[in-house]
Structure 1
Amino acid sequence: MAKAPRFQQIKDYIVNKIEQQVWPVGARIPTEHELCAQFNVSRMTVNKAVRDLVNEGRLERTPRLGTFVTQPKAESPLMDIRNIADEVTARGQTYRSDIRTLKRISASADVAMRLGVMLGTDVFFSEIVHYADNVPLQLEQRWVNPALAPDYLHQDFSQHTPNEYLSQVCPVNTIEHTVEAIIASDSVRQALAMKADEPCLLLHRRTWSQQTLVSAALLYHPGARYKLTSRTDR
């Protein structure tokens, strides 16, 4: 069997060091000059290996300081709805949540428009922070139509997520997604432990079951730790 190209061998070597925690998150890897000498290859070969790992989110270059191991960004599909707890555990991380609010409210003009109900209608509201390995990954603010999920307020969302519960009681057949980059408010930054200058990704999501709006959600993500992807097969 033919050996892998030299740049791939260098990539595999770096990834192996990262996965074995020889080079943990935040560690500086050897310079390209040092890797060239170690593997007896050209600078171009080492550069391709390192550049690929930077593009894959495993490494981060800092001008004048070097190349460092970075925490890979959590990733979610944009064109689908996945249970965030399942996503976190699938990456080998520990999931937990902090239920900040779970109550009945009177729909304001904004909420009424989001959820497609009359102004002043009673709706359910929840605010939950989702964590991966005790690092906040998503702030979820969700409004739910009580007519479709009357037992929403009685759920223990420390044991299952709103997404999981709603998918069971009113299966989704239509999804609406809008994504924008925003400057997070102080409360959002605090909930997600974000730096003052860190970008924030906001996903607006509405879901329908049998042509009726079930819920509207605002999903805030720290841009430095999260990304959304989309794939279309043709």
Structure 2
Amino acid sequence: MADSDYESVLCVKPEVHVYRIPPRASNRGYRAAEWQLDQPAWSGRLRITARGKAAFIKLEDRTTGELFAQAPVEQFPGIAVENVVDSSRYFVICIEDGNGRRAFIGVGFADRGDAFDFNVALQDHFKWVKQQTEFAKQAQNPEPGPKLDLGFKEGQTIKINIANIKKKEGAPAAKPRPLSTGPSLLPPPPGSKTSTQHSTPQPAANPGLLFDLGGFSSEPAASTDTWGDFTTASSSSNSQSSTGWVQFQ
């Protein structure tokens, strides 16, 4: 099936009113206020369909779908559909009977949103028609201009330097960093040979400081010596060799 034989539905509105309109008196446009809006000539359903580049406004019976009138639209805006000058809910369309006879009638929508959808459906269709026409022109007459040729000419080669890549792949793994060999921050252990050779002699303690503490004397006291009992026990234990105590000299 060719594209021109396929018919698509663009918009459906369940309620529309048709009016007989007087001839246009001047070029100022149609006015819906001059119609008998309270006495429509016909009421029914409106459908907008598209076949190829043309659109069709079809007025049909709500129940049976019988066609009342049809207005082919080849461009929009145009003579086939015109807005009135005093309202956004009323339009003038040109209907045809298929035998070459034409007539202008008024159509109106009770809801303003239905009138908006009617208008947008025709705008979107002919915007698509314009795009398709431009695409067809570009396909038939491509814009001349130099084309970028990225192909290799005969005998042409390309050289890639991978020396750095091999060097990086064969490089040895990084070794752990050795500990610092500088002088240790810790002093040598006391009593070692090293500390004996390099230690600085310390001044002798001042005996006067010991005397100032009290309880200390250069001569032991006879009656106040708290260690007397231990001295007696030590001397008495020297004669007992079976106690297991080690005698310190």
TM range (shorter): under 0.3
Rg larger in 1 or in 2? Answer: 2
- The higher-RCO structure (CA 8 Å, 6+ apart) is 1
